[in-house]
Amino acid sequence: MGGNQSWSTEVILVGFQLSEEMELFLFFIFSLLYISNLLANGTILGLIWLDPRLHTPMYFFLAHLAVIDISYASSNLPKLLENLVKHKKTISLASCAMQMLLYLTFASTECLILVVMSYDRYVAICHPLHYTVIMNWRVCTVLAITSWLCGFSVALSNLLLYLRLPFCGPLEVNNFLCEILAVLKVSCGDTRLNKMVVFAGGTFVLVGPLSLMLVSYMRIIWAILKIPSGEGRRKAFSTCSSHLCVVGFYFGIAMMVYLVPDDGHQDEQKKILSLFYTIFSPLLNPLIYSLRNAQVKAAFSRALQKQGKL
């Protein structure tokens, strides 16, 4: 790294100015939400693994989404919970860099997995007779690996540019985690290249996939309207609406954080959005897919019946 900072230097995560009593209360609430996230996404993974009826491309990608949600929350929340219960707001520079790499990797990969899931629904509804040929397991594996590699590449490029920056004075990051834009603000070097790469990465994983998904869903809706059976239309709309709920929530928050121009007066709003994104988004995904998906609910019922017979 440039400047006179060492890897033993601690970063101060300003977060929210709260009393010790409020921090303990939030520790309790956030711990419950984190455990709920692990249980909900773990249940989704378990059902997909154990139930042969869920061994399809759609649930293969949903399993990746569950892994990402568990990993994303686990890369941020444990440190936040530790700081809340110990009433401190520090993180080592090395841990900060690792946290940045992990959360950018998982967030970017989730965007790409969501666009792959929309392509899977497009093929299933618009080309049902060729679905098994187009979405064979080799194609699904390649799409999943490509999503992970692209997500990691976006994160690594941002991290390498961050490591070359000099830092002077106290490193007080105005966030509860090492969010890339908040960290760049404490550097005393030229961060224009870093911000350009962040914006380019955001465009690649947000605007590009969202545009592809909008095109896919316009064609999907057109195809659904042509289905003669009312039951067929209802089932198709139910499956797609679950995915659209996740896409709208996820991409909406991410675009407000990374693509809306920063005028210097949005730090508090972005902190709240980041908190919502870290705590609630990983929990909402399994709830949306399980509560609105008949196959997942049926698989859960079968698992309970098997457990009851043991």
pLDDT digits (tens, 9 = 90+) for 108-139: 999 999 899 889 988 988 888 899 999 999 99
Per-residue pLDDT at 223 exceeds 90: no
Q: How far is CA 203 from CA 69, 99, 210, 283, in A?
A: 21, 22, 10, 25
Burial of 208 (0-12, 13-18, 19+ CB in 10 A): middle
> Which phi and psi (to 5°) does residue 111 adopt?
-60, -45
Q: Which of 250, 249, 236, 226 is nearest to 293 (CA)?
A: 236
Q: Give the pTM.
A: 0.86
> Which phi and psi (to 5°) does residue 11 adopt?
-100, 135
More confident residue, 7 or 14: 14
Burial of 49 (0-12, 13-18, 19+ CB in 10 A): exposed
Is residue 91 within 8 A of residue 234, CB to CB? The reply is no
pLDDT in tens, 136-195: 999 999 999 999 999 999 999 999 999 888 887 778 888 888 888 888 888 888 889 999
* Helix (H) or strand (E) segment spanning residue 99: helix 93-126
Task: Report d(CA 78, CA 125) in Å as an integer.
Answer: 41
Task: Report d(CA 235, CA 230) in Å as an integer.
Answer: 9
Burial of 8 (0-12, 13-18, 19+ CB in 10 A): exposed
Q: Which of 158, 155, 163, 156 is nearest to 5 (CA)?
A: 163
DSSP string covering 235-281, please? HHHHHHHHHHHHHHHHHHHHHHHHTS---SS-HHHHHHHHHHHHHTH
pLDDT given at position 153: 96
Find residue 12's DSSP bridge partners: 90, 172
- What rounded mean pLDDT belongs to the chain? 84
Cβ within 8 Å of residue 192, ≥6 positions away:
none
Q: How far is CA 133 from the centre of its chain?
A: 29
pLDDT given at position 5: 44
Q: Of 95-99, 114-118, 216-220, where does mean pLDDT reach its minimum? A: 216-220
